[in-house]
A and B are shown apart, each in its own frame.
Chain A
Amino acid sequence: MLSLSKKSDEQADVEPLWHPDFRNVERLPDTKVVRTTFFINTAAIAATLALLMWLGYREFHIRTLEQQISEAEHQIDTNSRQNKEALRLSQVFTDEEKKLDAAANFVHAPLSITEFIEILGNTLPAEISIESVDARLSDARNRSYVLRGLVAGTRDKASGSASAYVDTLRANPRLKKVFDAITPERIAPDGATGLLSFEISLKEKPEGKK
Chain B
Amino acid sequence: MTEPFEPKITAFVCNWCTYAGADLTGTSRIKYQSNVRVLRLPCTGRIDFMLLAKAFARGADGIIISGCHPNDCHYTSGNYHARRRWMIYRNLMDFMGIDTGRITFSWVSAAEGAKWAELVNEVTTGIRAMGPYTEYKQLADAGVE
| Co-complex (A, B) | no
